């Protein structure tokens, strides 16, 4: 089937710098603030956290180790389960909802630093009215309890009944299997799915390999890089409805 003739029935979106824009951030400052907020939360609940200096050192090295391990294995860890494992070793005693709140305290500063492009909700409304299925496929170790809380705060969660996060699977983008799993979850043949993301090596390469239509969302991560053959490019999510209408119109005209 020719790329231009593929009728789009569903769209899968990446999260970071696609739906939620973080831009260029100081990872060191974000991590330090996350540790301070999580430490304060544990103190509020009378947990045996010890000194902040030791708490910071343990978590700094722990996070670096798990990120390195994730890079080496190609599998993302689960932030919530990691917190619970740490808690079990250090005598923390929290209710399930408190563990989720602790996870949020680690993520909260990053959420505050993010933004949603103007016109995004209007575009998603229009795509929904066009009868398209919408979903999220994200490479992340951040547990969904925090990501979906963030999406809800931004008014975006309701658009995406299908949501996949790489920490839930033994593979992540660009592995074609996670794209295939997303296609199964959204119940649409990959040839009729559009994937929108900002990373050429993860989002675009993987989507094309899975047989999807790939759309590169312009951003700092891909600035100046050539667009892979067969992919499309947009500057804003608001452009998507027009892109899909044109693709589907081309498909209709070819069928006639």
Q: What is the pLDDT of residues 118-152, one digit of tens each?
A: 999 999 999 999 999 999 999 999 999 999 999 99
Arithmetic mean of pLDDT over the chain: 93
Residues 13 and 19 sit within 8 Å (Cβ to Cβ): yes
Query: Does residue 212 come out as left (phi exceeding 0), alpha (psi in the -120 to 50 range) or beta?
Result: beta
Q: Would you kindly state where each structural domain of the chain is located, as residue ranges?
A: 3-23+114-255, 27-112
Residue % of the chain over a pLDDT of 70: 96
Query: Distance of CA 37 to CAs 33, 78, 102, 157, Å?
Result: 6, 19, 9, 25
pLDDT at 1 over 70: no
Superfamily of domain 3-23+114-255, CATH level 4: HAD superfamily/HAD-like (3.40.50.1000)
pTM above the 0.75 mark? Answer: yes
Residue among 167, 184, 129, 170 nearest 12 (CA):
184
Least confident of 27-31, 104-108, 173-177: 27-31
């Amino acid at each position: 089937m020719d790329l231009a003739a593929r009728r789009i029935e569903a769209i899968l979106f990446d999260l970071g710098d696609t739906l939620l824009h973080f831009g260029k951030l100081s990872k060191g400052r974000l991590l330090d603030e996350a540790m301070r907020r999580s430490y304060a939360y544990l103190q509020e609940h009378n947990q045996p956290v010890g000194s902040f200096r030791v708490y910071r050192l343990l978590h700094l090295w722990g996070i670096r180790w798990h990120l390195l391990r994730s890079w080496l294995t190609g599998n993302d860890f689960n932030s919530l389960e990691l917190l619970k494992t740490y808690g079990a070793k250090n005598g923390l005693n929290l209710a399930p909802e408190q563990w989720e709140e602790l996870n949020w305290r680690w993520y909260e500063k990053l959420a505050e630093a993010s933004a949603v492009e103007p016109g995004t909700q209007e575009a998603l409304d229009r795509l929904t009215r066009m009868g398209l299925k919408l979903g999220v496929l994200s490479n992340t170790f951040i547990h969904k309890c925090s990501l979906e809380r963030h999406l809800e705060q931004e008014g975006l969660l309701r658009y995406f009944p299908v949501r996949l996060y790489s920490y839930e699977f033994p593979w992540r983008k660009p592995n074609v299997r996670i794209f295939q799993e997303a296609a199964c979850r959204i119940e649409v043949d990959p040839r009729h799915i559009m994937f929108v993301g900002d990373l050429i090596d993860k989002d675009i390469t993987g989507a094309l390999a899975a047989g999807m239509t790939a759309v590169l969302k312009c951003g700092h991560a891909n600035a100046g890089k050539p667009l892979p053959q067969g992919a499309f490019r947009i500057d804003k999510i608001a452009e998507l409805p027009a892109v899909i209408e044109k693709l589907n119109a081309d498909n209709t005209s070819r069928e006639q």
